[in-house]
């Protein structure tokens, strides 16, 4: 009987059927705790547990060109903020399912709040109470 476990290089890997490759990749990529990694990082994490032919062959995929690091644009603190909101999480004790956060661009200071609903009214209330009344108005978006 043929085993579905590969023991090459001293570690066991479960060999996935071709129809499960996309499912495994999507599942690993979309996990809440995965950090929404890019494709190469997700493949590396998959390779720790699963295996299939051509999983990590570098010649099969074009190499990514990584641009050099660059400095942040200058400016004053609180000139610019970044707003973001998240997909629904499981309900918290108070019924909150969404997180809205604002990041100050230069210092990377984060202000976040959990909300029950993902609506314009809740986000506007967060901007007004959590940012504008505490730190002042946006000078740049």
Q: How do residues 99-126 score in pLDDT, each as one tens digit?
A: 999 988 878 889 999 988 888 998 999 9
Which sequence spans correspond to the domains of the chain? Answer: 5-60, 81-135
- String of DSSP letters for 60-127: GSPPPPPPPP-PPP---TTSBEEEEE-PPPSP-TTS--EEEEEEETTT--EEEEEES--SHHHHHHHI
Q: How do residues 26-61 score in pLDDT, each as one tens digit?
A: 877 777 666 667 777 777 777 777 776 665 555 555
What's 81-135's CATH class? alpha beta
Output the pTM of the full model: 0.47
């Amino acid at each position: 009987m043929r085993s579905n476990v590969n023991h090459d290089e001293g570690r066991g890997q479960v060999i996935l059927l071709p129809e499960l490759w996309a499912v495994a990749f999507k599942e690993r990529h979309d996990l809440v705790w995965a950090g929404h990694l890019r494709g190469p990082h997700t493949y590396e994490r998959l390779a720790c547990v699963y295996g299939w032919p051509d999983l990590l062959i570098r010649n099969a995929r074009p190499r990514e060109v990584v641009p050099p690091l660059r400095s942040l644009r200058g400016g004053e603190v609180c000139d610019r903020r970044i707003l973001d909101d998240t997909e629904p999480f499981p309900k918290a004790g108070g019924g909150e399912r969404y997180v809205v956060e604002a990041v100050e661009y230069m210092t990377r200071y984060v202000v976040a709040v959990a909300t029950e609903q993902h609506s314009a009214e809740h986000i506007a209330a967060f901007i007004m109470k959590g940012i504008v009344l505490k730190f002042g108005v946006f000078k740049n978006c």
